[in-house]
Structure 1
Amino acid sequence: MVSTLWFKCNERDMFFKLRSEEPSNKSKLRKSMVWATTCSGSSYTKTKEILAFCDIPFMPSTTFTSDEREMDIVLEDAKDASLDKAVEEEKAAYLEEIRSNGAVVNDEQPIKLEVSLDASWGSRSYGTRFTSASGAGVIVGEKTKKILFVACRNKRCSICTREQRKGKTEGKTSPKSHKCYRNYSGASGGMEPDIMIEGCVKLFKNSVWLTKITTDGDSTTVSRIKNHVKYGPTIEHQLCCNHVLKNCGKKLRELKCPKDVKEIVSNNIGRITLGIRSAIKHCAEKTKGADVQNLYKDIRNAPFHVFGQHQNCRNYFYSKRSTVVKQPMRNIEDSSITNRTMVDGQLNDEELKQIDEVCHVEQLIKSGVWSKIQAIVNAVAAKAESLKYNKTSNM
């Protein structure tokens, strides 16, 4: 990418040399082109073709590969430095919170952090089922929302595969010397636990314990972490509320309902998930996750509340920011019931009677849908212990 231009002065018969890049930059332009090609998802061949149309000469492929290797080392060092800095910031935020509460910090004790973790690998569900041979995972701090650890797993190496094919045809037994990126063998579903165990071990060396972990529902990962780290029994597993409610709503929408109740159910699915979310938020904010028993009851009661049966509803079911109750029930002519200001947050017996007149529970029971709705909601209620803090893994 560096060009040297010679200019001749006809009057004085002198030559002048100009370069497209200063020698002191040490091929900065060339390496910038390699970096831009890699980050844009392009390749050496594509970049060479684009520059050829502009009549600009491009570097040889060997130079391009050599610069890629150099940048790989630089990026790896930069990544490690960034992760170490993020860990120190997370520890500082945790210690600041402890000191602000008046507690004494023991420097000899490990720092106990709350984190969210997740991993991903590509898959194809249509046609022939396919699972990607590569995956990545991250651990994110709860206080700073910064990445504390990141790693990749690869089941294949393109150079090894190519050399193995050549070996079969040309009789070679070993591949040429190269940096092999294959670092995992096994099912793709095992990549996430493997990455997270590595992250926990690395953080443990920095005197960091992960005592509260939020995931999207993969209990296998947390159970393997508990078995592989020294402080495993102290780890508390919390589920991502967004994922749990998303799956709940998906299952409710997939229900096959008779025509006479199909509209009633479909119009209230959002209210069911919203009611569950409100119960979780109430437990997290008002009781700091201590009232799990009532959270379990409130989640199970959500369908009853939505479809008009309020005998087991607690006071906060009717309280809103303006403390006004708005029940979108049909066939209620008295608006003073549906839009009245609550004094004590509880409907009286007379009002409950009038609301019960439009209760859809009996209709749903007769149609056979009610038991299916309860089964889906009860499955969420069974996870109340892991939902009590209203944690999410979405940053």
Structure 2
Amino acid sequence: MIGEKQEGLASIIGCKFKGCGHELIFNTSTKTKGLTGKMFWTNNLAAVWGQMTTGGGFNTLEESLSVLNVLVMTKQSFMHTEQIIGKWWWSVLEESMKAAGRQERQIAINKQQHHHSVPAITVIVDAGWSKRTHKHSYNALSCVGVIFGKETKKLLFIGVRNKYCAVCAKDTTKEHECFKNWTGSSSSMESDIILEGFSKAEEQHGLRYTSFIGDGDSSVHSTLRENIKVWGHAITKLECANHAVKCFRSHLENLVKDKPQYKGRNKLTEAQRKRLASAVRCAIIMRSNEVKDKKVNKVAAAKALQEDILNATLHCFGSHSKCKPEYCKTVRALQSPTNTNDSQQSDILFSSGTDSSTDTSFNSSICSAGPSNSTSQASSSLVDCCDEVSNDDPLDALLLEQQMAWEEVTSDAPEEVQLDYSLEPTVPLDQQMICDIQKIAGRLAAKANQLIGNFTTNLAEGYMHIRSKFDGGKQINRSQSGSWESCCAGAALRVNEGPEWGPTIWEKITKCTSNDTFRTVSASKNKILAQDNKRKATEEVKQQRKRRRSTPDYQQGRLDYSRYDNKGPNAVEVPTDLFTDKLHDLMVKYYEAHVKVTETAYQNNGTK
């Protein structure tokens, strides 16, 4: 060998034969032409590609290869290659989103869903930030927003906002590609991204997004209605059932935190708060299934759901006078022909020792403790709700099992001991506590027309989960250059193209076949994922999960440290060693503070 020139993970080696003196030059890596037409060493592209898809960076690659005694490319070369791959990903992603838009448009035409002769669809929207700032700080430097088509379950739009550029922060006069595109607050990034996606819907896909499924962020809806011209007034919002119940549970937690007197037995305990949230969630599933099975119309189902939510508080605390037999086991048992105690049941809601007039007035007060728009007023507005949209998304296994176990999760007593059914609670209840809970339930009941359909933003949440793999779980600040954009684009391709997206996108970009190992690993992961989903769908696994959730450890939401000798409260702490004089001073102070014995008296007592 007469010489070697290294270019990252590729080398140009020159050698000379001793016999004939002929010189030969060969490369340790092939060259690949990307979408830009420029040639790149395949080894360098593959190394950076692998780090980008696993949440790593230059430091991770350098440390990993140093163990193998392999020299790596320079940091500048790594960052340049990372930006090039990111641009390629964005280019391919635009084509993928246009193809998904054409599918959504054709489905809307086939279903005859139009708004002023333009195909109209329902979309799912959400946003995620580059930093964990939920319920605190709200100062993330970057945000990504996504819009999914409900029918194709594919990404139609993705937008990124950045508040920071590392080059601009050092030298604003330097010529560079600036990624800073936002100067407002971090919390307002989501509304701006979703607004951009809605504004470009007709131009990009020939569609109008007349309804969207989102979480509890009301500012997005108002921003769309105010800023989308021509058809903004027709945009309706469908509430994510998961987020709605989560907010309901959070309000209950805050209520107990603000009013500690509601803690304790027969009050708003942790188990009771879980039971209330589960009752509401199961009611949403039940009424949505009625509409899906075409047993009732959407207006009637929304009205029934509103009544169920308002009655959930009384039901969970043992008052079943207003419960419906569809979901209440106590009412079904009392209505059965074999029950002989029907004549003995009273209509009094609370056994508090007061007369019937007092109980009746209290019943009226708690039923009207919600918002100013009562049940009758809210039901009249249900006619204006959006067009019926069926929910074809698969339900989460947990929610399905909650629905199957409705009576169990909403009952205070175990099945085998619940023999004496009664319409009234066995103990007096705190009326003020019930009223406070009803106020929280009333705010949720007002959204009943938006909850019918059991819609969720699981598609968007799934994208955020996949993106966390690309950005390293938000542990690295990727907002200083184009790294954050590249992570978002890679996750979007993974969602639209499936688990085997890697070899497919590599071949589209490089115009050459991916290696056998790359294809084998991707196919293996796809197979494992399919087998895992199939296993989770079996009845045996569902029953195992159900039994596991019924254990005390799972219900308490924490480990039972009594099983461990040296964990949690049972952990043994080693005290700090003290000198003799220091220990004597502490002993004297303790006696003076707690026993009130002076040192002289202590010494005199010791001599006796």
TM-score normalised over the length of structure 1: 0.79
Please, which of 340, 349, 367 is the counterpart of residue 342 of structure 2?
Answer: 349
**In structure 1, distance between residues paired with 2:424 and 2:194:** 51
Structure of higher RCO (CA pairs closer than 8 Å, 6+ residues apart): 2
**In structure 2, distance between residues paired with 1:175 and 1:80:** 32
Per-residue CA distance 1:190-210 (angstroms, 9 max, x = gap): 101100010001112132111
1:302 aligns with 2:324: no
Name the counterpart of 2:372.
none
Any conservation in 2 of the 1:84–1:148 contact (CA below 8 Å)? yes
Name the counterpart of 1:321.
none
Length, aligned pairs only:
357
Deviates more, 1:46-55 or 1:198-207: 46-55
1:380 aligns with 2:432: no
Any conservation in 2 of the 1:283–1:289 contact (CA below 8 Å)? no
Give the superposition deviation at 1:77.
0.6
Name the counterpart of 1:58.
72
Name the counterpart of 2:271.
267
Matches within 5 A, 1:195-344: 195-205=193-203, 206-229=205-228, 230-254=230-254, 255=256, 256=260, 257-262=262-267, 265-286=269-290, 287-291=296-300, 292-318=302-328, 325=329, 327=330
TM-score normalised over the length of structure 2: 0.53
**In structure 2, distance between residues paired with 1:357 and 1:224:** 47
Which amino acid is the alignment partner of residue 47 of structure 1?
L
Name the counterpart of 2:430.
365
Q: Secondary structure of the equivalent of 1:380?
A: helix
Please, which of 20, 27, 41 is the counterpart of residue 19 of structure 1?
Answer: 27
1:146 aligns with 2:154: yes
Percent of pairs identical after alignment? Answer: 24
Q: Show structure 1 runs of 5+ residues with no match.
A: 164-173, 319-324, 328-336
Q: Secondary structure of the equivalent of 1:369?
A: helix
**In structure 2, distance between residues paired with 1:59 and 1:195:** 36
Name the counterpart of 2:540.
none
Give the superposition deviation at 1:245.
0.8
**In structure 1, distance between residues paired with 2:239 and 2:344:** 38
Give the superposition deviation at 1:351.
7.3
Deviates more, 1:85-94 or 1:8-17: 8-17
Q: Structure 1 residues 111, 130: CA separation in 2 closer, same or farther (over 3 Å shift)?
A: closer
Q: Secondary structure of the equivalent of 2:123?
A: strand
Any conservation in 2 of the 1:123–1:131 contact (CA below 8 Å)? no
Any conservation in 1 of the 2:65–2:72 contact (CA below 8 Å)? yes
Any conservation in 2 of the 1:114–1:210 contact (CA below 8 Å)? yes
Any conservation in 2 of the 1:7–1:15 contact (CA below 8 Å)? yes
**In structure 2, distance between residues paired with 1:108 and 1:357:** 53
Per-residue CA distance 1:260-293 (angstroms, 9 max, x = gap): 424x744333332233223323433323421233
Give the superposition deviation at 1:6.
3.7
Name the counterpart of 1:171.
none
**In structure 1, distance between residues paired with 2:71 and 2:265:** 72
Give the superposition deviation at 1:216.
0.7
Name the counterpart of 2:143.
135
Deviates more, 1:223-232 or 1:246-255: 246-255
Name the counterpart of 2:118.
110
**In structure 2, distance between residues paired with 1:241 and 1:107:** 26
Name the counterpart of 2:179.
181
Q: Structure 1 residues 389, 182: CA separation in 2 closer, same or farther (over 3 Å shift)?
A: same
**In structure 2, distance between residues paired with 1:156 and 1:304:** 51
Q: Secondary structure of the equivalent of 1:182?
A: coil
